[in-house]
């Protein structure tokens, strides 16, 4: 048996890419998750070999990821009246947001996603990623 099991059901669903842990708790509360044919409860543990099913799979969030070259003049967060927002520059689903920020006067690669786990891993100080900037004046 793997050292990862037993595993909380919300962690299992997040690990499988079905939802974030918080989103998994919502699915469980709405009785959308089954473990071995029984309705799962929050905090329940999954063992290796258990069958986990999701009722009405359309309710499971599909994560999307975009790499976008933001041009100068586009705002990534909180645009003022009359400023061009990143969502006006590229057609995105409503729940997709930039990971981090680039100033209005900057251009460059920015990641856009609806996956909060990725956003957290890239931005949270505890993950200590190197950042590299190339500046031209």
**Is 112 buried (19+), middle (13-18) or exposed (0-12) by CB count in 10 A?**
buried
Catalytic (active-site) positions: 103
User: pLDDT by residue (tens digit) across 33-90?
Assistant: 999 999 999 999 999 889 999 887 644 567 889 999 999 999 998 888 989 889 888 8
Residue 14 CB contacts under 8 Å (≥ 6 apart), including other chains = 20, 21, 24, 117
User: pLDDT by residue (tens digit) across 123-134?
Assistant: 888 888 887 878
Instruction: Please report the domains of the chain, with CATH numbers, ordered by start residue.
Output: 7-59 (3.10.290.10), 65-127 (3.30.70.580)
The answer to whether the peptide bond before residue 6 is cis (omega within 30 degrees of 0) is yes
**Dihedral sign (CA 96, 101, 105, 110):** negative
pTM of the model: 0.55
Q: What is the pLDDT of residue 8?
A: 95
């Amino acid at each position: 048996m793997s050292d990862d099991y037993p595993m909380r059901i919300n962690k299992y669903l997040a690990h499988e890419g079905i939802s974030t842990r918080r989103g998994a708790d919502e699915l469980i509360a709405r009785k959308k998750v089954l473990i071995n044919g029984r309705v799962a409860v929050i905090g329940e543990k999954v063992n290796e070999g258990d069958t986990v099913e999701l009722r009405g799979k359309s309710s499971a969030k599909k994560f999307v990821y975009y790499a976008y070259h933001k041009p100068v003049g586009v705002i990534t967060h909180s645009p003022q009246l009359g400023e061009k927002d990143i969502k006006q520059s590229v057609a995105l689903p409503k729940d997709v947001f930039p990971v981090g920020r680039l100033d209005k006067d900057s251009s460059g690669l920015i990641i856009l996603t609806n996956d909060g786990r990725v956003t957290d891993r890239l931005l949270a100080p505890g993950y200590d990623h190197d950042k590299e900037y190339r500046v031209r004046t």
